[in-house]
């Protein structure tokens, strides 16, 4: 038995290579967009990737099943309810795949999506009993998958309860659970753990959602805890259900003049350097989200204008191609990148913008001054409710584009989050929209509290209260 977990750190996705090394047969479960890890593993261990298994039509990232099928000749398998338009072999509940001494059994577990399927693994050399389950988007570590991305949320939650208690929790306690997502993914809730695996028994004892044994109570709990959906859900599902997607093209090097012309025609510049580098000097209208941070692709897809060409500014050569691959994993296409980065831009004396970077103590001093800034908290709802700066306005960074009218244009604005990343992106969004006097608080609400400044808890202020 060969079993390997491959993690996409930016999106919090997990995929798996399962094989019988002696027989040479291998399958990949839920392949990510970048298929190189599977090809390297197959070469290293001398196995052939002959099968590709999808737990469901993913809503948060573009699958690599088309690229992997083209590269290896493997057959793609997905549940018949997925209504896949690409070449595949559909299966139903109870379908099995033999890979030498390894057996993979499909266990239909609807809830996250109607077609969702978990895969139970058996090894005849280990008495043939189930030893692991690749749960996809059903049972996570510390949490369960959200029920609202494909069906009416109440219906999805009820299905999820049945799938958990009638299909997965009937497995023995020692069976390992290997999830489709880790902490940071938008396909789970705030309890989703960063751990890579667990067991059925451990989750039965410690997973709060599994401790709710009444179906109606479980449904109510799930509906009350729904967070932000992944961006562009319908677009990504259509890509994953439709004909094979093998590429979005590669970014082309662009001169400063070409970048200026593209921006004038509606392209958006994504600056993947650190927020501090961006604050010091950037192309007018650019959006700041560091490609060094996890969640880069999700943040960009949440805030970039729909349908706009994307142009990357990177910190060093090669980084722009890595960023382009990350954006391709969420269905975005990067048209090009600024060749030579900001050095080339400045050498031609092109215009630049800056954003002032301040710390919590400076923010406190300005808040007590004659022209106090509006403090704009761009974290999510639960973070704001737990603690926030008194008098701050709460708008999550991903919602800014639809709520500009709530933000005054006649006073300075200081953006703040937990650690300075989302607030840097928010500051760039506001500056792009024409707000003047935007400053970026480079440390978060926790640093504000630790410096002795006041915080309070509770729900967000209404626009009328600001």
Look over the chain and give the mean of its residue pLDDT values, rounded to a whole number. 93
The tens digit of pLDDT for each residue in 380-436 reads 998 999 999 999 999 999 999 999 999 999 999 999 999 999 999 999 999 999 999
CATH architecture, range 2-240? 4-Layer Sandwich (3.60)
Structure confidence at residue 466 as a pLDDT band (50, 70, 90): very low
The tens digit of pLDDT for each residue in 146-194 reads 999 898 999 999 999 999 999 999 999 999 999 999 987 777 666 788 8
Domain at 356-465: CATH code: 3.40.250.10
**What is the per-residue pLDDT for 463?**
45
What's the pTM?
A: 0.82
Least confident range of 107-121, 223-237, 434-448: 223-237
The tens digit of pLDDT for each residue in 449-463 reads 999 999 999 875 544
**What is the per-residue pLDDT for 315?**
81
Matching CATH topology for 252-347 and 356-465? yes
Contact predicate 317/247, CB 8 Å: no
The tens digit of pLDDT for each residue in 38-77 reads 999 999 999 999 999 999 999 999 999 999 999 999 999 9
Q: Which CATH number fits domain 252-347: 2.60.120.1140, 3.40.50.720, 1.10.10.10, 3.40.250.10?
A: 3.40.250.10
**What is the per-residue pLDDT for 465?**
40
Domain layout of the chain by residue ranges: 2-240, 252-347, 356-465
């Amino acid at each position: 038995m060969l079993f390997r977990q491959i993690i996409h750190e930016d999106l919090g996705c997990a995929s798996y290579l399962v094989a019988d090394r002696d027989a040479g047969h291998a399958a990949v479960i839920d392949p990510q967009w970048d298929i190189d890890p599977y090809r390297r593993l197959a070469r290293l261990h001398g196995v052939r990737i002959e099968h590709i298994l999808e737990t469901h039509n993913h809503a948060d990232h573009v699958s690599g099943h088309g690229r992997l099928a083209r590269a290896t000749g493997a057959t793609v398998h997905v549940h018949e309810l997925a209504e896949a338009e690409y070449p595949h072999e559909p299966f139903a509940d109870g379908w099995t795949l033999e890979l030498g001494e390894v057996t993979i059994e499909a266990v239909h577990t609807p809830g996250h999506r109607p077609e969702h399927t978990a895969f139970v693994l058996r090894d005849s050399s280990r008495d043939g009993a189930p030893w692991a389950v690749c749960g996809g988007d059903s049972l996570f570590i510390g949490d369960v998958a959200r029920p609202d991305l494909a069906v009416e949320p109440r219906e999805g939650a009820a299905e999820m309860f049945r799938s958990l208690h009638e299909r997965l929790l009937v497995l023995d306690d020692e069976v390992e659970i290997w999830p489709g997502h880790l902490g940071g993914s938008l396909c789970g809730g705030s309890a989703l753990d960063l751990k890579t695996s667990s067991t059925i028994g451990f989750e039965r004892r410690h997973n709060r959602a599994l401790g709710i044994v009444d179906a109606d109570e479980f449904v109510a709990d799930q509906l009350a805890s729904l967070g932000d959906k992944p961006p562009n859900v319908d677009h990504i599902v259509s890509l994953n259900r439709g004909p094979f997607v093998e590429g979005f093209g590669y970014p082309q090097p662009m001169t400063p003049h070409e970048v200026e012309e593209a921006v004038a025609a509606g392209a958006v510049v994504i600056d993947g350097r650190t927020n501090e580098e961006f604050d010091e000097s950037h192309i007018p209208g650019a959006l700041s989200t560091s490609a060094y941070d996890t969640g880069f692709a999700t943040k960009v897809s949440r805030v970039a204008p729909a349908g706009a060409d994307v142009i990357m500014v990177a910190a060093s050569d090669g980084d722009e191609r890595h960023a382009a691959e990350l954006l391709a994993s969420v269905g975005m296409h990067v048209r090009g990148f600024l060749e030579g980065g900001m050095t080339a831009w400045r050498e031609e004396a092109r215009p630049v913008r800056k954003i002032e970077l301040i710390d919590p103590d400076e923010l406190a001093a300005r808040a007590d001054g004659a022209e106090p800034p509006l403090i704009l908290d761009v974290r999510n709802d639960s973070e704001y409710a737990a603690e926030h700066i008194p008098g701050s306005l709460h708008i999550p960074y991903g919602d800014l584009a639809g709520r500009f009218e709530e933000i005054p244009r006649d006073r300075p604005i200081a953006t703040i989050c937990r650690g300075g990343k989302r607030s840097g992106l928010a500051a760039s969004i506001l500056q792009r929209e024409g707000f003047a006097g935007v400053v970026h608080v480079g440390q978060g609400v926790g640093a504000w509290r630790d410096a002795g400044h006041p915080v309070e808890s509770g729900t967000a202020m209404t626009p009328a209260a600001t």
